[in-house]
A and B are shown apart, each in its own frame.
Chain A
Amino acid sequence: MSTIGESSNPLSRFMSDESNAINASSGPERSHVGEVVESSTTELVAEARQLHGAPSFGQFVRVDSEVPIVGIVFNVFTHSIEPNRRPTAYGKTEDELRLEQPQIFELLRTEFQALVIGYLDEMGPVQILPPQPARIHSFVHVCSEDQIRAFTHTDDYMRCILNTVKVPTDELLIAALRQTMRAHGGDRAYLVRMGKELSRLLGDDYDRLSSIVRRAAY
């Protein structure tokens, strides 16, 4: 259906603006994974472009706002868009459901929350919270490996995670570390360096440190 232009699709009159927009924007040039629907200086919520299509936990994302904002995904959730309707069990596989209960997938949304850890300016990564939060409806992209590398050269992102109470701190640290490890080409020396910074950031908490390091390296 997407190949048929708006005017030639007899059904387009009945479609919601939103799905018309998605149809129009499904070209290859749109590579975003989500769109900001809630935004604050420290945190943002984005709706995934596709159901179950959110970036992974611990993934670095970039928001195309006035200044590109960088964040780490710390929560992904899929839920009913209607507050008084709850998904129920059907006892069918997803494929079967897609054939026989297609409407349920329209009623679910995947959203994700990201912790804002800084932004990018002409000079490169800035590990400071952006002066303005991301604009609502800005597109969210997954960071490239280069961007991740540039952003995780220092330990500031770990400090951001540790300073946030709302997130599952240790798990997020582990996920982020694994993510950055990959971006650094599996460089063990990098992991050791970050481990040392982490040791400093955690102060005396040896137990926590060893658990994080062990699991991050797993």
Chain B
Amino acid sequence: MAKRENGTGVYKSLRGQEIGVITRGSLVEGLEMKLDARQNIEDMKAGKFVVIEGDKNDFFSMVTDMRLDANNQEVLLHPPRQEDELLRQVLSGTSTYNIVSLRPMLMMPKGADGDEGPRPVKAIPSHFSQVQDAMEEDVAKIFGREGDEQGKYFSIGSPLDMDTPVCIDMVRFAERSNGIFGKTGTGKSFLTRLALCGLIHFDKAVNLIFDMHNEYGFKAMKETGQSNSTFVKGLKQLFGERVAIFSLDPQSTRARGVQPDHEVYISYDQVTVDDVATLQDELKLNPTAVESAYLVYAIYKDRWLRTLLAQEGPDVEEFAKEIGAHPGSLVALHRKLKRLENFPFMVQKGHEDGDVVDRIMEYLDRGINVVLEFGQQTSMLCYLLVANIISRRIHEMYVKKSERFYSTQKPEDQPRQLMITIEEAHKFLNPSAAKQTIFGTIAREMRKYYVSLLVVDQRPSGIDDEVLSQIGTRITALLNDEKDIQAVLTGVSGTDGLRSVLASLDSKQQALVIGHAVPMPVVIKTREYGAQFYRDMGCLDDVPPAERRAQVEKKTNALYGDN
């Protein structure tokens, strides 16, 4: 923001109140600001968004740390008495003062308008540059404003102590794999729901959501801090036709008051050895067991699992000898895979509705987002198995589609960008699994085949580094574990400041957003997922009839003209 010459040769900032001046620092380690004596140190929260007004540039920065300091031992040895209010006021900012560490994230030449835009920080402001609270305009300039022509900006919250929306660029968000992290109960699911709403509302990607806890499709619980929990709307409620619910447990889905669009059955023939291999950890299979599975497959092909599970206990050893597998391993494999038979959705043969993956693909092709609910089937084994099987197949199809598009180069052949949402992502993406599961592949090959991931996880340290480094945008709620924080910040420069910011987030509804979809890291207070948001998403269910009519009319008029 430009400064105005006020006739005395001194430039006066047009922003609000000065909160301090820059006293020292470096490009690498960040800057230190002496807090203005009139400011209360308690207002300087980690993650606060401020602007340093240099001579030529504005530096958009984040508060990362603060420190109490005194220039005189005497003061600390004989602090003013409690009733010496005046003396304390006098000392504050002089003998005793506060230092706030700032991390410049972006810089923008003064007077530049939109087109020049913010750039990465390659300089630091001079001594005693003023530091100001960021203003709405600053936030908009950096993060864009919802409602732009391209419809790419989606607000997911506002900076600390501000009411201005912080937007993420949905186009860029959809381009890459993304992560949503945070301890349990910090708002991951809410953030995910928000992100998905953004993608759906602005139609930047079609989603396939493996909804382990039935939180996305229809109605989700909201903790209220009291015993009576309330519910928030799911995607189906917000977007109706544009969302289809597939259920592995139709009964449970129906019990929650919604008819699933499709029931999911998986035949044993759809399960590949690779799928089993990814369950290695979960089933505690040793490598030789997986070897033997390949032997079975070599002979029975698609029917390998059905054949194997058809063997009764004592026959397995015999069967092993037949195919030349190690009997012990095969017995173990057989015993463990037997658990799959307990899953009600596992069926012997293809269902009359046809293959579930085809159906999903059909929906996705039509741009309808698919939420796959697991109902009561909340075991990790089930989740891993199903997600893997389906994703692998979907991925295969996408590879083919993409290949065709690359050869024809016809726009109508261009596949829709697909984003697959998975929870407990570290189970799929831990260093050993990442090499085998389809998710590892998707994460690594980036958007070559128009598929990306939205990983939701509470233990990011469990995720393979290589995968983490491919994650474009990270939305991170509070994390306590040092390793998790480390993991989230992998591949981000100048992270020491952010580390403290991350550890000091509120335990709910606050998040740090870093990466591809935002020009600079920013701490946000997450957008309230509630009535206002539903309305913003165009869902008028809860709006009183009169108002709703008015809104609809307005829209109609906008479309067909006023007559």
Contacts and interface: CB of A to CB of B under 8 A. Distances in A.
Consider the complex of A and B and state whether they touch directly, i.e. have CB atoms less than 8 Å apart: yes
B91 interface: yes
A191 interface: yes
Interface string A180-218: 000000001001100110111000101101100110010
Contacts of B90: 192, 195-196, 198-199, 209, 213
Given A204-B72, A206-B75, A210-B80, A188 B86 contact: yes
Contacts of A206: 72, 74-75, 78, 95
A210 B72 contact: no
A217 B86 CA distance: 8
A213 B86 contact: yes
Which residue of B75, B80, B95 has the most chain A CB atoms within 10 A of its CB atom? B95
B21 to A, nearest CB: 15
A210 B74 CA distance: 11
Contacts of A191: 86
A191 B37 CA distance: 14
A178 to B, nearest CB: 13
Given A196-B93, A199-B94, A204 B74 contact: yes
B72 to A, nearest CB: 5
Contacts of B27: none
Interface residues of A, number: 16
B429 to A, nearest CB: 56
Contact of B94 (A200, A207, A214): A200
Contacts, number: 41
B461 to A, nearest CB: 47
Which residue of B37, B71, B89, B93 has the most chain A CB atoms within 10 A of its CB atom? B89
Interface residues on B, range: 10 to 19
A206 B74 CA distance: 7
A191 to B, nearest CB: 7
Interface residues of A: mostly helix, strand, loop or mixed? helix
B86 A196 contact: no
B89 A214 contact: no
A36 to B, nearest CB: 35
A19 B78 CA distance: 58
A188 B85 CA distance: 11
Contacts of A214: 84, 86-87
A200 B91 CA distance: 10
Contact of A207 (B37, B71, B74, B84): B74
Contact of B86 (A192, A199, A207): A192
Contacts of B95: 199, 206, 209
Given A204-B74, A206-B75, A196 B94 contact: yes
Interface in B80-136: 80, 84, 86-87, 89-91, 93-95
Contacts of B74: 204, 206-207
Contact of B87 (A188, A200, A213): A213
A217 B37 CA distance: 20
A217 B72 CA distance: 23
A204 B78 CA distance: 14
Nearest to B76: A206
Contacts of B78: 206
A217 B90 CA distance: 12
Contacts of A196: 37, 90, 93-94
Contacts of B71: 204
B179 to A, nearest CB: 47
Which residue of A192, A196, A214 has the most chain B CB atoms within 10 A of its CB atom? A192
Contacts of A200: 94
Interface string B50-74: 0000000000000000000001101
Contacts of B80: 210
B147 to A, nearest CB: 43
Contacts of A199: 90-91, 94-95
B86 to A, nearest CB: 5
Nearest to B95: A199
A206 B79 CA distance: 10
A207 B86 CA distance: 15
Which residue of B71, B87, B93 has the most chain A CB atoms within 10 A of its CB atom? B87
B72 A195 contact: no
B41 to A, nearest CB: 16
Contacts of A207: 74
Contacts of B89: 192, 195
B313 to A, nearest CB: 86
Nearest to A199: B94
Contacts of A217: 86
Contacts of A213: 86-87, 90
A124 to B, nearest CB: 14
Contacts of B84: 210, 214
Nearest to B37: A196
A188 B94 CA distance: 17
Which residue of A188, A199, A209 has the most chain B CB atoms within 10 A of its CB atom? A199
Contacts of B37: 196
A210 B87 contact: yes
A209 B71 CA distance: 14
A24 to B, nearest CB: 48
Which residue of A188, A198, A200, A213 has the most chain B CB atoms within 10 A of its CB atom? A213
Contacts of A188: 86
A214 B84 CA distance: 8
A88 to B, nearest CB: 46
A200 B37 CA distance: 13
Interface in B8-41: 37
A133 B71 CA distance: 40
A180 B167 CA distance: 51
Contacts of B91: 199
Contacts of B75: 206
B260 to A, nearest CB: 66
A204 B74 CA distance: 9
A183 B90 CA distance: 20
Contacts of B87: 195, 210, 213-214
A199 B87 CA distance: 10
Nearest to B91: A199
Nearest to A216: B86
B95 to A, nearest CB: 6
A195 B74 CA distance: 17
Nearest to B89: A192
A188 B89 CA distance: 10
Contacts of A204: 71-72, 74
Nearest to A198: B90
A13 B127 CA distance: 74
Given A195-B94, A210-B87, 13 more contacts: A192-B90, A195-B87, A196-B90, A196-B94, A198-B90, A199-B94, A200-B94, A204-B74, A206-B74, A207-B74, A213-B86, A213-B87, A214-B87
Closest 6 CB pairs of A and B: A195-B90, A199-B94, A206-B74, A192-B89, A196-B94, A217-B86
13 contacts: A195-B94, A196-B93, A198-B90, A199-B90, A199-B94, A199-B95, A204-B71, A206-B72, A206-B74, A210-B84, A213-B87, A213-B90, A217-B86
